[in-house]
Structure 1
Amino acid sequence: MKSALLKVDDGRLMRAAFLGLLAAAGVFLFVDLREMSQASADLPGHDPMRTGAPVLPPALTDGVPQVPPVEPETPSEVLSQPMRFELLSGGVLKAEGSIDVGAAERFAEEIAARGEYVKVVSLNSPGGSVDDALSMSTLIREKGLNTKVATKALCASSCPLVLAGGTAREAEAEAIIGVHQIFSAGQDRPTPEQAMSGAQATTARIARHLEMMGIASGLWLNALETPPDRLYYLTPEEMSEFNLITGAATQADQASTTVSPD
């Protein structure tokens, strides 16, 4: 009886600690938003509220690793285009490009038309619309599809939310997966207060979604700590630790595989 009570208390403490971190992140985010809004006036054309720009931001200054593992194989001008879908052999549906507003609707139409052939969704995206990413992720899980990021493909910003929807999730060797703070913004620039409120609501939605997908909270904590103009590149070990990647074909497994001499 006593051990059961201790387990309940531990669970409550861990949840309280996590919620406390989210609240603290909101406070610092509010300060960051004020600073970014002021800085943007000196950078014509720069919009700190826009996700996925540039296509491959520099690594988080204090993060590990310091640089992306490799350069993406796909040119940035291709990745910056609205997401498009291509059915490949073996039941692989390739989803490539930015997750623009409306991508989830086009994805749903693609699944409705070719769902019986699709087994795996292969992602190559710098991210984009959070709402569309969450909708795509939810549909992937509902349909029991798998997800993967191929060698030298990119899955950044909101794209890992889509990856999380897979029943089984794979990252091939040298796949590039990164997270950072994600903002929702309309056509008009929100005030810092509005941005903070929106960011907190979005954070809650994402945290709840990742929990439902079976992803450890540490993944999103790394995102909260990383400014939107930087990326926290996930190591193979972290992908496995956070349960973002499942099964035997993880990057860590591939990297540790050696060929024994005859």
Structure 2
Amino acid sequence: MHGWVFALIALSVLAIPAPAGAAQPDKEAMVFSIVRNAAPACEPNCPEWIFAEGKIVGNSPSGLKRILKQAGKRRLPILINSPGGDVDAAIAMGRMIRAKGLDTAVSLTRFKGCKPRDPDCKLLPQNQGVYSGNAYSGGAFCVSACPLMLAGGIERLASQWSYVGVHQVTTVYREAKVTYQTRYRIVNGKKKILDRTVASRGPTKTRTTTKLSKAMRNKLVGYFGEMGIRTATLDAMLSTPASEMRQLPENELLQLKLITRSGTVDMLVASAICRNEVPADNCRATMSVQTIPGPANSPKP
């Protein structure tokens, strides 16, 4: 026997964790592109690499996935320069890099002609989406969540001229007050839900904490084990306040296995690696790569 239809108003407070840096402006987000060594004596067989620079945000793994698809089956090293950001995104990219068997290095890229972030930059069709530039270690940095991405490489490089640093993980909780209206019917003495709709939403508030949850600790420890990184890396992170940065010198990076060897990025992308009897995997013989500079690159009268 069916009874009346009732409506119930209930207030819920939703706390949704979001790693720091997950909502950075697009202009600061990590950019990816394939770059070919622009050394004058390089052609016709030159090394290429994947340029990865900027803050790690929630959709950064999607950007990496697209550039890996462009690279195809070629094993291009990933040269990283980043202030960190989203922990989950960094871990996801580290796993993508390891699954592809790629190498990583802390490095800057100086572009010849226009740059990926330049809206006026247009590549010629024969470039096939590949930019031209030179890589160098001096002044490059990989800090905060970035070392988690770096850890994905098979070979992992950093030098005394680059900077690798860690600190505590900051988690941002976004809390929203949501009022729901639930309609139900009493059927044979039991409540039967008919539907549930949002009646109103209150202002969203945020709070931050550096206290590491058990779930996050387990995630990081599991990831370090998966990548062959010493779990003492977590101790180095937790011992440094989020407002500070602990630089990890070469000897400590090697001890923690965050890098497999110390050296400059030339070890991965110098033109000489393509003149060996067996060229490196990231070498590609082609015609010279050219770019059409944008107005910002046009010569001044």
TM-score (ref. length: structure 2): 0.53
* Matches of 1:191 and 1:233, distance apart in 2: 24
- Residue 124 of structure 2 corresponds to residue 171 of structure 1: no
Match of 2:242 among 228, 245, 251: 228
Instruction: Give the superposition deviation at 1:172.
Output: 2.9
2:95 maps to what in 1?
138
- Residue 83 of structure 2 corresponds to residue 126 of structure 1: yes
Per-residue CA distance 1:211-248 (angstroms, 9 max, x = gap): 11111122111101111111110011101111111146
Matches within 5 A, 1:25-174: 50=20, 81-89=28-36, 90-150=47-107, 151=137, 152-174=139-161
Shift in alpha-carbon separation, 1:237–1:190, aligned structure 2, 3 A:
same
TM-score (ref. length: structure 1): 0.61
2:169 maps to what in 1?
182
Q: Which has the higher helix share?
A: 1
1:68 maps to what in 2?
none
Mind listing any 5+ residue stretches in structure 2 that lack a counterpart?
Answer: 1-18, 37-46, 108-136, 176-205, 266-301
> Which of the pair has more CA radius of gyration?
2
> Identity over aligned residues, as a percent?
30
Instruction: Give the superposition deviation at 1:118.
Output: 4.3
Instruction: Give the superposition deviation at 1:209.
Output: 0.3
- Structure 1 consecutive aligned stretches of length 4 or more whose deviation exceeds 6 Å: none
Provide the secondary structure at the position in 2 that maps to 1:85. Answer: strand
* Matches of 1:149 and 1:191, distance apart in 2: 29
- Cα RMSD, aligned residues only: 2.6
Match of 1:207 among 198, 203, 221: 221
Instruction: Give the superposition deviation at 1:177.
Output: 0.3
* Matches of 1:250 and 1:122, distance apart in 2: 11
Shift in alpha-carbon separation, 1:212–1:117, aligned structure 2, 3 A:
same
Instruction: Give the superposition deviation at 1:113.
Output: 2.2
Q: Which has the higher strand share?
A: 2
1:57 maps to what in 2?
none
Per-residue CA distance 1:170-205 (angstroms, 9 max, x = gap): 00331110001112324442486xx74x63322221
Q: Which has the higher contact order (CA 8 A, sep 6+)?
A: 2
Q: Does the CA-based 8 Å contact 1:137-1:165 persist in structure 2? A: yes
The residue type equivalent to 1:218 in the other structure is A
Shift in alpha-carbon separation, 1:209–1:133, aligned structure 2, 3 A:
same
Q: Does the CA-based 8 Å contact 1:240-1:250 persist in structure 2? A: no
Q: Does the CA-based 8 Å contact 1:51-1:157 persist in structure 2? A: no
Shift in alpha-carbon separation, 1:217–1:114, aligned structure 2, 3 A:
same
Provide the secondary structure at the position in 1 that maps to 2:213. Answer: helix
* Matches of 1:191 and 1:157, distance apart in 2: 16
